[in-house]
Amino acid sequence: MIARETTLSDKKIMGFAKIMVCAMVMALGITLYSSSSYVEVLEVQSDFLVQGLRHCKRHKESFIREEHRKYNPRYGLFLEEDNKVTIIKNAIILDGDGKVNQTENDIFMVEGLIRDILASNSLESEKLTSDLHGMGVEIIDAKDHYVSPGLVEMHSHIGICSQPELKGVNDMFELMLPVTPFTRVIDAFNLGDPSIQMAAAGGVTSALVLPSANLISGEGFTFKFAIPKSRSVEEMLVEYSTDFLESERRRYMKMACGENPKRRFKAMMDAPKSRMGLGHLFRETMQKAQDLKDRQDTWCELALSSRSPSERYPVDDNLDLLVELLRGKVRSNVHCYETFDVETIFRHSREMGIEINALHHALDAFRIPEIIKKQPYEVAIATFASTWGFKKEAFQSSLFGPKIMEENNLTVVLTTDHPAIPQHSLINQAQIAHHYGLSSEKAFASVSGEPSRVLQLDDRIGFLRKGFDADIIIWNMHPLQMGAIPLKVFIDGHKVVDQPIRESVINDAPNSVGVLTENELDSRLLENSTSFLVTGIKQSFLADFPIDQENGPYEIYVSEGGIKCFKSDCSTDYPDSNIIKLENAYISPSLTVLTQGHGLVEMELEDSTGDGELVEALKEGTLLDFKDPQNIIKAKHGIRFGGIHLLKAFNLGVGKLITPPFRGEGNLFVTGVSAAFNAGGSTLEDIVQDEVALHITMGSNGKQKGVPTISSQIELIEALIRDNSLADNTYGKVARKELKLAIHTNSKDIILHLISLKQKLDIDIVIVGGIESHLLAPELAKNNIPVVVTIWQCQRRFWDERRCLSGLAGQSTVLKVLHDAGVLVGIGVEDDSKVRILLQDSGLAAALSGLSTESMLQMMTSNMDSIFELSNDLSFFVTTGDPLTYGSRVAAIVKNGTLSKVYPDIEPDLDSLTQ
Ligand SMILES: *[C@@H]1O[C@H](CO)[C@@H](O)[C@H](O)[C@H]1NC(C)=O
Ligand SMILES: *[C@@H]1O[C@H](CO)[C@@H](O)[C@H](O)[C@H]1NC(C)=O
Ligand SMILES: *[C@@H]1O[C@H](CO)[C@@H](O)[C@H](O)[C@H]1NC(C)=O
Ligand SMILES: *[C@@H]1O[C@H](CO)[C@@H](O)[C@H](O)[C@H]1NC(C)=O
């Protein structure tokens, strides 16, 4: 056969094959010409050789870093009116390596690229400014403002899990098999996901979007967060090129170890159920890929030798990604938590000859730096700043993990795993990690330059450098400060956020919590004192003990369960006291927080660690009918003191917790009656109030047997309360205002009906959730309906949350609107792993809402106590620094008049509780 003789190069073959086919046809005349199948065979054979050799050639190619790029194909894809040239003058550059250049610079964006960065007021800058003058220039003066590259996310599900979450656009999981390397995120990416624009408002300009859950889940893609006017998804790719199919891109894949792949395929007979099974399936799959790779290599050898192959170049869509992984052309990203899972994946990497480029989530990685560093290639740790606790593999984390990894020279990348954490809040991950000791440089780099480098895109994004994409943020303050938000965001030179630049107080990164000194550790000996004195108090949020700032700082003396002295000098009156010497100290009443499962469950996904999960019971048919008041479940007998969740909460200043029975995720109407108890408690006396409120979920999550619609939910609850108004049961207590009715809902429309329900029945309704409640703020105030906000930060995760406020790009927040309208606002958490960062999270809420520390703390203390009518004892906590700023630390905790903790551990020792 003609083609077999060929040993020519790619280009020549093509020409040669065409000529030969034509020549054959001519030579054999009409008979052959009419025998079209023969011609096809010939064409196919010549084509397969051409195509195959093209593959062979690619085996050897590697990506070329482009220095000083001159052309950005995405420029001009947005709006016609985009300026060709934008110059940011007088910028303080905070680059993707986290370093600040104190010299002011001018940044020149030309047609979507950074043309140059030149010292402000220099001759060079003036010259370039005037050279570009004719092109339609916008000049922005960023004096005294930090200017950074756009943030880079390395683990997102944005676009494939669109918000609000609807079945129609949730494509995050492909659960046909535990191994689906053939799936591609780009096939599912929905650019209509509103989170994309919100992410850009938070300064996130590009992201790696990964598929989820499977042992080998598939191929991820990197996207930019500006929507092209064509609405083309391909135009959103970081490496967009006009020739989509032909152009080569960096490739990324996602794998997972441990609990997720074990759990997800429970129902599938043939799927592995243990780590051992997963290990086998992984090796077996990789061996298949290796076989294919060998066959491809043999084919190429043949094709390039004198003996041509008789078959097509072997390809298999099932294995393509894995073969490319074996060739070192795909960057691997592995979801992996436990230390032993990490070691297994490394063992597999050696056995298969593949690299593990990033371990994702990896909450235990800080415990095994040596194992990670021993690998012959760089392994990045793409982790969270504070997520923890809901399952075994996420239980052993430490807030100091990123800091410890930095100390061990590991590469730290911080991620949101959107929608697990809202995409737009990526910078908060860096802030929290910095608060807990990751250096400011590494913290900022971990959401900009480091992910870009690990993605091998550090010739385009993640840095402010010549020839990089013009993805730029102008910040209102140092981005690691509480309340930092982007004022202007550019993606490929296209302005996606445009807030006015106001005067700025130029500040540095905030402090981190320090390591305790010997003296501080020694003062722990004062724990359990019932008489003690604290000095250096600058601010007091105790309602009856204000500070006259002219005479500050104050001292406080506590004895016999009461405050005996509060003025600038108590030491003279009480000279022999146990003294805790502080500076810049703040006193706040202990916090009261509504949680999902604190005191009832340790690991949400491990039923044996908890009191019992109601949604699960409903599914199993073991939950009794709530219409019979006897069957309403109460939390009071299930409270467990001394668990690790309670200890962490107590150590950061939480006094009382309110927890309803643990419902779990899913549909359930009546949850039951909550109890309030002391976080630091140990005896039944610490149950402050055994019946606080009857909790009911209204809306989609409340749809269950008997109440399949919202209308029936409202109607039924009304009937139950009315019918039992005189009875000695839970519904009767609600009817007589002896018990609050806490209704969990975010929907404005449901809240509207609840206002009328309250007017009809004259009962005490508390809205819990309330994301859309800002739309009814005056009505809620007028009807004395308090709102316990559980997610102040807008995410539009579900339909009933779609009208939320983000606090970004000039928007207000739900807290601010409710507060200003005079609604009694409390704070709860929807995600229990957030309790341990409650102070930081509420600090952020206060900053973005323009609320004072005092107003914010009231929402977490006195407002909560009055919403739920809880009694108070002498419980407060003292921090060094404003408790709602980064860098502050809890120095003392007073529980019922006793000095319970001094410099409590932020991460109490876990070894006695888990391994
Ligand atoms: C800071 O900016 C000045 C002015 O452009 C430049 O000369 C200098 O090299 C920059 N410093 C660093 C560390 O990049
Ligand atoms: C980290 O790297 C620095 C600089 O290369 C080195 O001095 C230090 O010893 C390293 N630390 C560890 C724990 O490996
Ligand atoms: C304080 O009391 C607790 C609980 O009884 C005890 O574990 C701890 O050792 C005591 N601390 C001091 C300093 O006596
Ligand atoms: C709080 O202290 C008082 C005495 O000051 C005591 O009677 C009460 O039992 C204590 N409460 C708890 C929950 O320990």
Q: Which ligand is nearest the CA of 465, by number?
A: 1
**pLDDT cut 90: percent of the chain above it:** 85
- Among protein residues, the one with the nearest Cα to ligand 1's atom 2 is 103
Average pLDDT over every residue of 355-365: 97
Of 58-62, 300-304, 334-338, the range with the lowest mean pLDDT is 58-62
* 758 band by pLDDT with thresholds 50, 70 and 90: very high
- Rounded to an integer, what distance in angstroms lies between the CA atom of residue 754 and that of residue 764? 11
Instruction: Collapse the DSSP code of 359 into the 3-class scheme (helix H, G, I; strand E, B; otherwise coil) and give the result.
Output: strand
674 lines ligand 4 (CB under 6 A): no
- Atom 13, ligand 4: residue with shortest CA distance: 686
DSSP characters for 369-381? HHHHHTSSS--EE
Q: For residue 117, which atom of ligand 1 is closest to its CA? A: 5
Q: Percentage of residues in the chain with pLDDT exceeding 70? A: 94
List the residue whose alpha carbon is closest to atom 11 of ligand 2: 408
Q: Which region among 23-37, 386-400, 566-580 has the lowest average model confidence (pLDDT)?
A: 23-37
Distance 178 CA to ligand 2 centre (A): 40
3-state secondary structure string, 287-318?
A: HHHHHHHHHHHHHHHHHHCCCCCCCCCCCCCC
pLDDT for res 804: 94
Q: Are 594 and 828 in contact (CB under 8 A)?
A: yes
For residue 558, which ligand has an atom nearest its CA? 4
pLDDT of amino acid 259: 95
Q: What pLDDT shows up at residue 913?
A: 55
Give 741's strand partners.
Answer: 694, 765
Q: What is the pLDDT of residue 910?
A: 67
Prior bond of 149 cis (ω within 30°): no
Model confidence at 34: pLDDT above 60: no
Rounded-to-integer distance, Cα 626 and Cα 616, Å:
15
Residue 408: CB within 6 Å of ligand 2? yes
Token pair in block for residue 812: 């207000």
pLDDT at 9 over 80: no
- DSSP label of 162: -
- pLDDT for 8 equals 33
* Contact 682 CB / ligand 4 (< 6 Å): no
Q: Extract the tokens encoding 488.
A: 């202007």
CA distance 106 to 315: 51
Residues 6+ apart with CB under 8 A from 686: 641, 677, 678, 680
- Pairwise CA distance, residues 351 & 780, whole Å: 63
Distance (Å) from CA 96 to ligand 1 centroid: 14
Please state the atom number of ligand 4 nearest to the C-alpha of residue 688: 13
pLDDT at 912: 52
Span from the CA of 896 to the centroid of ligand 4 (angstroms): 6
Q: How far apart are CA 434 and CA 483, in angstroms?
A: 14
Of 903 and 912, which is predicted with more confidence? Answer: 903
Q: Is the pLDDT of residue 300 over 60?
A: yes
Taking residues 793-801, report their average pLDDT: 89
Mean local confidence (pLDDT), 149-171: 96
Q: What would the mean pLDDT of 785-793 be, rounded to a whole number?
A: 94
Which of the four pLDDT bands, split at 50, 70 and 90, describes residue 911?
Answer: low
Ligand 4 atom showing the smallest separation from residue 896 Cα: 1
Look at 176 and 246; give whichever has higher pLDDT. 176
pLDDT tens digits, 396-435:
999 999 999 999 999 999 999 999 999 999 999 999 999 9
Residue 587 has pLDDT above 60, yes or no: yes
Instruction: Please write the tens of the pLDDT for every residue from 265-284.
Output: 999 999 999 999 999 999 99
Query: Would you say 112 and 126 are in contact if contact means Cβ atoms under 8 Å apart?
Result: no
Query: Does residue 409 line the site of ligand 2, with CB under 6 A?
Result: yes
- 3-class SS shares of the chain: helix, strand, coil, % to 5: 35, 20, 45
Ligand nearest to the CA of 896: 4
Ligand 3 atom at minimal distance to the Cα of residue 524 = 13
Q: What is the arithmetic mean of pLDDT over 240-244?
A: 84
Rounded distance from Cα 754 to ligand 4 centre (Å):
38
pLDDT given for residue 794 in this prediction: 86
The pLDDT value recorded for residue 549 is: 87
For residue 678, which atom of ligand 4 is closest to its CA? Answer: 13
Report yes or no: 677 and 717 within 8 Å, Cβ to Cβ: no
More confident: 162 or 909 = 162
For residue 672, pLDDT over 50 is answered with yes
Confidence of residue 48 (pLDDT cuts 50, 70, 90): confident
User: Residues enclosing ligand 1, CB less than 6 A?
Assistant: 101, 103, 105, 118-119
Q: Is the pTM of this model over 0.95?
A: no
DSSP 212: B
Q: Which residues contact 145 (CB under 8 A, 6 or more apart)?
A: 91, 92, 474, 475, 476, 487, 501, 504, 506
**Predicted local distance difference test score (pLDDT) of residue 243:** 81
